[in-house]
């Protein structure tokens, strides 16, 4: 399997994973409103990741944002778990977010040279 096909699979899996947060988002709307708000961002991101799977090269910045924001979220959540601000069970989520970030960075499409992108635009 080539790199682009692997990236498409990762985008679909992560997109669906984020999209499935819609159900707990609705459940937590009254009990944990801030958690529900955060989940709404992930649900929205999930939709865009599914759309990005069609043409990953054209959505390079979205893929990079997803990877780096996953690392940022993992860092904050991991720190909070280690300081007992949130439950230590959140460390599972930290691991998942790190795996998502690493997979997306490792499979991210290379940046096209500016001239190549211009040629492709002209010849379409």
Q: How far is CA 61 from CA 12, 15, 37, 68, 111, in A?
A: 17, 15, 23, 10, 10
Q: What is the pLDDT of residues 107-118, one digit of tens each?
A: 998 877 665 655
- Residue ranges per structural domain of the chain: 3-109
Rounded Cα distance between 112 and 92, Å, is 36
Rounded Cα distance between 53 and 13, Å, is 10
How does residue 123 score in pLDDT terms, banded at 50, 70 and 90? low
Q: What is the pLDDT of residues 45-97, one digit of tens each?
A: 999 999 999 999 999 999 999 999 999 999 999 999 999 998 898 899 999 99
Q: Structure pTM?
A: 0.83
Q: Within 13 Å, how many C-alpha atoms sit on residue 40's CB side?
A: 10
Residues 6+ apart with CB under 8 A from 40: 25
């Amino acid at each position: 399997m080539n790199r682009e096909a692997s990236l498409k699979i990762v985008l679909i899996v992560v997109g669906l994973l984020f999209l499935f947060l819609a159900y707990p988002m609705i459940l937590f709307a009254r009990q944990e409103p801030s958690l529900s708000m955060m989940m709404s961002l992930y649900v929205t991101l999930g939709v865009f990741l599914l759309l990005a799977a069609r043409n990953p090269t054209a959505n390079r910045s979205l893929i990079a944002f997803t990877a780096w924001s996953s690392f940022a979220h993992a860092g904050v959540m991991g720190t909070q778990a280690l300081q007992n601000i949130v439950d230590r069970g959140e460390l599972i989520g930290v691991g998942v977010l790190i795996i998502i970030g690493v997979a997306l960075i490792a499979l991210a499409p290379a940046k096209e040279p500016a001239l190549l992108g211009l040629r492709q635009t002209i010849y379409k």
